[in-house]
Structure 1
């Protein structure tokens, strides 16, 4: 059949005139290039043209009948209203001019005699219901590995008579590795609906739960390890369990000074915009000094460390 106008308009082949109008209204509002500024212009223009062409054919009983019987080729070949006799009159064959899309939109929303042009200003002034924002709390492990969440939502919708009701839906949210607090996931027109307005958007905002072991600093992970003064002077092997369950062994053989930070490359959080790359793991060393020393201990320390007085 070639182009499937029913599929483009998201209606069945038994759709009524009302079904076709309702679907065109929803899709045209979604894909009009002046309104849909979040999508690539060429993508929006192509979608809008397809929707307009599908409505142009299916909203006309004669064109729809020809299309149902003979498909797109039947329209293009110039079949006349008698269904079967080719019309050879010049210019009579079906051809949809992309420029007609705006005219169809204008007539549908404003009426053929309204005299209003479809400008970007007109479309941006079309009322839209208020956006709904929900917080989505995620653990650090989830933001490290990524996950798929099923979220049940409840929103207000209007029936054909304009009466409000409640609709429950389950939305799937794909959380990508490396997403940060404040990242927004938008579901266009999945918010509440109100009379005389397009449905509002639904937005989930990522929030990050505190973690028992790690703190996040941008793309880095910070792990604080407390060691004794003796370990700081003689060396220490530090073990870290990563967010994906691996065990890292980090030997430190040099004398550890207060404020020391051991950096492990590429063991931090995934960088969502650069797949395959990660930040760093920074191990901060907190040295526990003894609260008191006996006279004997002090004498021992002076004997052992006395020769290092001139060192920094």
Structure 2
């Protein structure tokens, strides 16, 4: 049979017209030479073969001859099944001849495009040539969703959704599963509701306001490119830590005696470790103890972290006896 047109279009031998159209749309977009500037020669050959396969299989008469006599039967002007005659014969076969169309003509006819621009190659004998620009491929995308192919498709505005994340999520990184419902056009162009699970990979150190975009996951409509779905990271309040850029800030309540004589802070980190931080300096209300490398991961290099900053809330006594006041004066006098 020569080339297997069904394999070329990646369809079953029982494929109907809608399935052939869908397969051609997908493959023509992938292999059009103007979409493959770095691999143009191979793309041109593939594009031509895809177009030939669609031209034959989408035509009931050509398809019937191909299935009975193969590609050779088409090239030898085989008669349609039931018309009598055989490939190469001189009787009824003369009434049918396979005239393959050019790949560009099939592409233009299929999507309703007229050739948008013409140019002449270095050899004038080669005749006119044309390219599909980016606006034409935008129209092509509209055609794949049932839009008007002759008018460049517009894209709907992005749909933005908040994505609440705990500080632990942003510290360690996590995968979140989100179920979405949207309308998708079926083969007849009718919107059909579908549910889909999206996986969102939260990376260690991501900040509030980070955007994760899923391209064209909005509702599909005729002639409109679906909206992008954008999730925006939102940081939930934490009962212990506050975030300041890549640093973490924690507050410790201490007594005045501890502030003056020394204090050992114990902090449970966001990944469950307990770290002990001895503070030997006199702790004033504005004092801050810095523990390097115990803050949030730095997104561009998660092996590095910001700092942990320990601040102190000093509880002063509500009153002092005369004896306590005298003792403090003696101790603190120069």
TM over 0.5: yes
Cα-to-partner distance string for 1:241-271 (whole Å, 9 max, x where unaligned): 0111000100111212221111111111112
Corresponding position of 1:136: 163
User: Does the CA contact (< 8 Å) of 1:152 and 1:168 recur in 2?
Assistant: yes
Residues 5 and 305 of structure 1: CA distance in aligned 2, closer, same or farther (over 3 Å): farther
Structure 2: gaps (5+ residues): 58-62, 77-101, 118-130, 139-151
Question: So what's the TM-score if we normalise by structure 2?
Answer: 0.67
Q: Which runs of 4+ in 1 moved over 6 A?
A: 4-10, 27-35, 41-46, 48-51, 100-105
Larger radius of gyration: 2
1:271 aligned residue: 298
- Quick check: 1:183 aligned with 2:183? no
Which residue is equivalent to 1:115?
Answer: 116
* Cα shift readout 1:165-221 (whole Å, capped 9, x = no counterpart): 311111111211111111111111211111112222212111110000011111111
Give 3-state SS (helix, strand or coil) of 2:154's partner: coil
- Give the C-alpha shift of residue 21 in structure 1: 3.0
TM-superposition CA deviations, 1:247-303 (whole Å, max 9, x none):
010011121222111111111111222131111111112222223322222111101
Alignment of structure 1 residues 24-173 onto 2, 5 Å: 24-25=24-25, 52=47, 55-56=50-51, 58-61=53-56, 81-82=72-73, 108-111=110-113, 113-115=114-116, 118-121=132-135, 125-173=152-200
Deviations 1:25-77 (A, max 9, x none): 46777999999xxxxx989999x989857744642438xx9xx99xxxxxxxx
* CA displacement, residues 133-169 of structure 1 (integer Å, 9 cap, x when unaligned): 2211111111111111121111122223333231111
The 1:297/1:217 distance shift into structure 2, 3 A limit, reads: same
Q: Which runs of 5+ in 1 are unaligned?
A: 36-40, 70-78, 86-99, 308-312
Q: What is the alpha-carbon root mean square deviation over aligned residues?
A: 4.1
Matches within 5 A, 1:9-28: 15-25=15-25
Paired with 2:104 and 2:228, the residues of 1 have a C-alpha distance of: 25
In the alignment, the residues of structure 1 paired with residue 283 and residue 184 of structure 2 have an alpha-carbon distance, to the nearest angstrom, of 64
Distance 1:180 1:20, change over 3 A: farther
Deviates more, 1:49-58 or 1:203-212: 49-58
The aligned counterpart of 1:282 is 309
Structure 1, 25-34 or 192-201: larger mean CA deviation? 25-34
**Post-superposition offset of 1:16:** 4.1
